Structures are given as C-alpha cells and as structure tokens.
A and B are shown apart, each in its own frame.
Chain A
C-alpha cells in the first residue's frame, strides 16, 4: 500500500514538474514543501522507547530533507530537563517548535509560553489547546479496536489486568477511556481492582513482576483472561510473565507496534494476543509537513491522523511484516 502511494506521489511530482516547466512558473506549489533557511526546534521527553525514537527520527529526517536546520532535544525522560530545554529553546526563537509527548500537566504552562513568544507550536501525539496541529494516530479508534479484540478473544467474559500508570499522558487517557467505554457494553468483562501501575524505567521487569504477583494471587486457570496496557512495553513483561507461569489462557494486549511485540503476536505460541501498530516515523514526518505548510502560509487542520493497523493472531503474518520492514529500514531495532 505504501509502495503504491509512493508511486502515486512520484507520478504527481513528475506531472507537477512538467506542468511547472511548461508554464515556467517558479513559485512554490502546495506539494513542494520547503524549510530552507528555517530552524525547527524539536523537544521530546525521551527516546528510550521504540515509538518515541522512530517519531523523533522521523521529525529530524524530514526537517533535513526539506532543507531546514533542526535543534533536536531529548530530555532523557526527565521533566526538569525538558522544561529547561524548552525555556532555552524559546530564547533561541526558532521558526517553529515540534513537541513530542510528555506529561501534559507539566508541559502546558510552557507550551503556553511558546505561543506567547509568538513561536508556532506543533505537537506529536500530544493533544493540547496550545498546538496549531497535533499529528498522531486515531487513538479513539485504536483504543476501541484493541478493547474489542480483547473482549472477542475473551468470549465476552472474564477478568482483565489493566496497567494504568500513565493516565496523565493524553494518548493513554484516550485509550483507557475507550477501553472503559467498550466495557460498558460487556458487563461480564471486569477490570481487576486495584489497577496495575506501569513505570518508566524498568517497564518490562516491573510489568513482569506485577503480572506474576497477580497470577499467583489468582491461581485458578481462567480466573484472569487478559492483560491490557496503553502501550506495548508493559505488554512484553506481561507476556513473558504469563508464559513463565504456564497460564497460556491469558492473552496480552497493547498499543504502538514495537518490532519485538509484533514478532510476539506473529508467533502462534506466544501469549501476546494483539497489538495496535502505529507508524511513528510517518507521524514524525507528517508533523514536519504540517509545520512547513503552516510556515508557507497554508491552512493546517488542528489534528492529523496517520493510519494504524490492528495486528492480531489471525492477520499477523500478513500485516506484521510491513511494520518489521519499516523498522529495519529505519535502522531501529
């Protein structure tokens, strides 16, 4: 699909070039985005996770592709550092700032300061009123789809272990709320209280021990039907824990599509039930395109959704491969 799209873009570009040379027009057209002579600040809360790294890379590659200069800042998962970086960035007065993930409560006052300084703000996966555009996946869809897949696999009844440590991260809030909404239609599917807390760092180890503890607490087979997390790194630990405990009736569900997790879903013997795979690299690139369009005076919608794919046990062999190929191409494992 992506290949045919590329072909289409190429054909369009060729056609346009021909049209331009015919008419001898030298102005920038809608398709010829450029960031020549522009400085774009990029601030990410961290890049220790596959998704974050791919999106961060996508942004930087695209800015360079369009001829712009990029000021790339990785806060190493430290709020304090991200705020300091944003503060200095504001003083540097770039032509636009792209902000990627983080705690909204912490960020919002500073995103406001970016706008107050007259710098156009774009966000990746971060819904905030201060951004001109937020480029992301359709998390409302993703949240509902993964929840429905889980309910279907469970046969409409059973208990779910839910990791809910990052409700303050906007995308996690949406996915969790969608899960809850789907479950209102399936009263026999119950979330085990208290919910589990996923953490950063040591996400996998911590998820592993949390799930192991819960399985020990409910030793009868079938007492727990699924494990859900709003991203897929806890899913790795959960899947390993389920398998180590020999509780293969429990399936795990997550979101993002890290190569490791896609491979798990592709493995028929693995307990990973499904993962909603996003295209973080494309998301990063698209946010830059939006910034470029805005700087060229074009209208930009408040949000842009980049398609995602639900990979489950049935379609994994076919749908999983393009994502693994994309990861390999970007050189991120």
Chain B
C-alpha cells in the first residue's frame, strides 16, 4: 500500500534511482544466496572426501531415517509459513508444533500402554494433534492474534497437557505398528526412511503440483489479491495450522517407534524445525519456503550431525553451526525482503 503512495508522490528520477538501488540489492541477495548454497555444497564435499563411511548406502539411509521426524514436523511448519506469509514477525509460524508432537506421543503411548489397540491409539493421537492445530487456527484466524504469540500460548497449553498426562515420566510403548516401523524394511530401506520418502512425495505434490498449493502461496504472498480473486483466505490459513497439527501427530508416532516410548523434552526439537523451514528458503529464488527446500535442509541438518560424528568433531559444534546458518539465512531473507519493500 505504501508503495503505491510512493509511486504517485516521488518524481521520475527518484524512481529510477530506487529501481537501480533495488536491482543492486537484488543482485546482492542473489550473490549471498548462491554463497549460502555454495557453503552447503562445500560442507558436503568436505564430508564426502574426509568423513570415513559418509557415502556408504547404509550411512545415508541411517541419515534419512534420523531425519524422518524432523522432516515431517518441518513440512508442517513450512505449510504454515507458506499460508501465513514469511514475514518473521507477523507471518505464519507454529511454535507449538514440537510440543504438540510431545502431547500426541504421550496420548499415543499412554493409550497403547492401557491396552487400546493401534487403530484407536493412532486415531486418538491424530485427533489430538489436529485439535491443537485447530486451536491455533482459532486463535490466529478467529481471534486475530499474532501467530507468534498465539502459537506460543498454545505451545504452553500442549506442553502442560503432556506433563499432566505423563507426570513428566517416560511412558513405554510397544505395538505391531511400532514393531513394523522399528524393524521393518522394504527394498533395503527401513520403514522410517520410507515414511519420510512417502510423506515428502505427498507434500511436494500437494503444495507444488495442485491448484490448491498455488492458492496457498497466493494467500501467503498477497492476501488482498487472493481475497480479490475469490479465495477464502481464512480457510486456507486455518487449514495450514490444522495440517501442522496433523504433521505433529504423524511425527509423534514415528518418535514413539524410535524411542520405544514417549519421553519428555520433545519441545527441544522446535529450534531444529524452525531452522529447517527457514534454511529451506535459500533453495528458492524468491526466498519463499518450499517443500523441496525444506527437505533439502532437513537432510542437510541430519548430514551435518552425521558428518561431524564421522569426523570425530565434537557434537557441540553442530548446534553452533546450525545457529550460524539460521542467522545467515534470516539475514539473507531480510536483505531480500528489503529489496522487495523498496520496489
């Protein structure tokens, strides 16, 4: 809106200057973006050459398996950012997603340990996950609260409910479904790795291959234009929060299978989930989150921890490098955003 005002008021020469400035910034952003991708590639190349056993199929499948939970959560986060717009302060964000996974895992493990079968327990976990997502949607779309604050509040609700349910203890769980997820293997690829592959394929097709996905981007990018085109913005935004809750529930089943239990402390994953969703934007030319970009950054985060361990570099570095990369990406996105703003 301010841009149109600007257009009518500033002179032609000013406009030219602004255009040149914006082109310069855009060029700068491109350089930094390519630089970031080059840094990713350099780190990977280093691992390939120096980390013993890094490229073995066994190791790579391990990494895919290790990335499954983070991946599923990051897709939820990415969908929310796409639908709500990627403005860091006012755009879409779901801070409750990791805590929601913890709650779903607790519900799932508790029901299993009480003797309810897989079907009922899985359904209950998914229902709880989507209900928490719906609560987010209600707060953001219904009450108009900033997503950052709304989902922060819901984070606390979910974490509190998990604590009430489990009393902060480990709830052991075993079931036929968990057995398959833990030790199942098809075509030499473990079930957990398959879970990530299938989930990724579905997400990429839905978001990038359908008109539904296109509308989702429209809603996040230009809500006014989307509304003018007759798209129900509230519906799409609400949908992303419920989808994010669904992702949390799916991830919770994967996490219970991997840990043979629901354990406290799921909330810790939030930073990695945010990192994956934000890092993914450098793989897009317009710095928007994409499912493919998210997948790449999830795998990158997994490979980073793996490569460091194979090189026998302290695991403490992983957090440091992850943090530095987030800072870099957020800096790049604000840089690029700046060029859009002055356009």
Contact = CB atoms under 8 A, between A and B. Distances in A.
Contact of A77 (B168, B169, B265): B265
Contacts of A71: 309, 312
Contacts of A85: 305, 309, 315
Contacts of A106: 170, 259-261, 263
A321 B337 CA distance: 61
Nearest to A165: B168
B69 interface: yes
Contacts of A223: none
A89 B309 CA distance: 8
B170 A88 contact: no
B28 interface: no
Nearest to A39: B312
B168 A197 contact: yes
Interface string A92-131: 1000000000010110110000000000000000000000
Contacts of B265: 77-79
A109 B261 CA distance: 11
Interface stretch (B36-44, B58-66, B149-157): B58-66
A147 B264 CA distance: 28
A92 B58 CA distance: 11
A77 B261 CA distance: 16
Nearest to B260: A109
Interface in A28-78: 69, 71-78
B62 A91 contact: yes
A83 B258 contact: yes
Contact of B167 (A87, A92, A197): A197
Contacts of B189: none
A197 B312 CA distance: 36
Interface in A150-190: 165, 167-168
What is the interface residue range for chain A against chain B?
20 to 34
A117 B86 CA distance: 46
Contacts of B52: 92
B66 A168 contact: no
A105 B319 CA distance: 26
Given A73-B315, A168-B170, A92 B310 contact: yes
Interface residues of B, number: 34
B205 to A, nearest CB: 28
Contact of B258 (A80, A89, A108, A199): A80
Which of A69, A71, A106, A167 has the largest number of chain B CB atoms within 10 A? A106
B186 interface: no
A83 B62 CA distance: 11
B316 interface: yes
Interface string B234-259: 00000000000000000000010011
A77 B260 CA distance: 17
B306 A74 contact: no
Interface string B45-70: 00000001100101100100110010
Contact of B169 (A72, A108, A165): A165
A84 interface: yes
A167 B169 contact: yes
Nearest to A87: B62
Nearest to B264: A199
Contacts of A72: 314
B286 to A, nearest CB: 33
B53 A91 contact: yes
Contacts of B169: 165, 167-168, 197
B260 A105 contact: yes
B172 interface: yes
A160 B44 CA distance: 56
Which of B52, B263, B269 has the largest number of chain A CB atoms within 10 A? B263
Interface string B154-170: 00000000000001111
A163 B168 CA distance: 12
B30 interface: no
Interface string B166-188: 01111010000000001000000
Contacts of A105: 170, 172, 260-261
A137 B293 CA distance: 50
A199 B65 contact: no
Contacts of B62: 87-88, 91
Contacts of B168: 165, 197, 199
A9 to B, nearest CB: 31
B73 to A, nearest CB: 11
11 contacts: A73-B315, A84-B306, A87-B66, A88-B66, A91-B56, A91-B59, A92-B52, A92-B53, A103-B261, A105-B170, A109-B182
Interface of A: 69, 71-81, 83-85, 87-89, 91-92, 103, 105-106, 108-109, 165, 167-168, 197, 199
What 9 A-B pairs come out closest when comparing CB atoms?
A: A168-B170, A84-B66, A106-B259, A105-B172, A105-B261, A79-B263, A103-B170, A88-B309, A197-B168
